[in-house]
Amino acid sequence: LESELLYGVPFEMSEQAQSKEFVIPIGKAKIERQGTHVTLVAHSRPVGHCIEAASVLSKEGVECEVINLRTIRPMDIETVEASVVKTNHLVTVEGGWPQFGVGAEICARIMEGPAFNYLDAPAVRVTGADVPMPYAKILEDNSIPQVKDIVFAVKKALNI
């Protein structure tokens, strides 16, 4: 899956990533930022929003661990579980609708697995609005998760 909203967005790339031999492992998530208070899990465009939200929250003393799933099938639930065991809180972020989404699947797997016993609060999902994608830019921006929405969700999860 790719997000056309990422077309034309510049990214820094390491020397290693620019090598012809570089391969991203399928099914292995990447921890983009280490943290201790809450786990943020996302894929595609929302990963960048999570990193921005983590920077904002860091100024308030909240350290977010940001996980980039990179693939959703297979899904690296082990990395997510290990992070939840460490942080005791989970927030998932995705641009899609809430029903039947990736965040719902992550929450279900955490609830059904060993990490559930480590949660200190219910998992929180940040999703797109349950509406057809609007054409107007301002409405589109309000129908998909923004940094402010992630910050709000983290504070809700941490009860602050």
Nearest to 97 by CA among 66, 128, 132: 128
pLDDT digits (tens, 9 = 90+) for 43-67: 999 999 999 999 999 999 999 999 9
pLDDT digits (tens, 9 = 90+) for 92-104: 999 999 999 999 9
Q: Has residue 14 got a pLDDT over 90? A: no
C-alpha distances out from residue 15 to 12, 20, 131, Å: 10, 10, 41
10 assigned to some structural domain: no
Which segments of 1-159 are extended strands (E)? 30-33, 38-42, 64-68, 90-93, 124-126
150 assigned to some structural domain: yes
pTM of the model: 0.92
Which segments of the chain are extended strands (E)? 30-33, 38-42, 64-68, 90-93, 124-126
126 assigned to some structural domain: yes
Cβ–Cβ contacts within 10 Å for residue 115, how many?
Answer: 22
> Which range of residues forms the domain containing residue 35?
28-158
Q: Has residue 1 got a pLDDT over 70? A: no
112 assigned to some structural domain: yes
Tally of structural domains, the chain: 1
102 assigned to some structural domain: yes
- Which CATH number goes with the domain that contains 46? 3.40.50.920
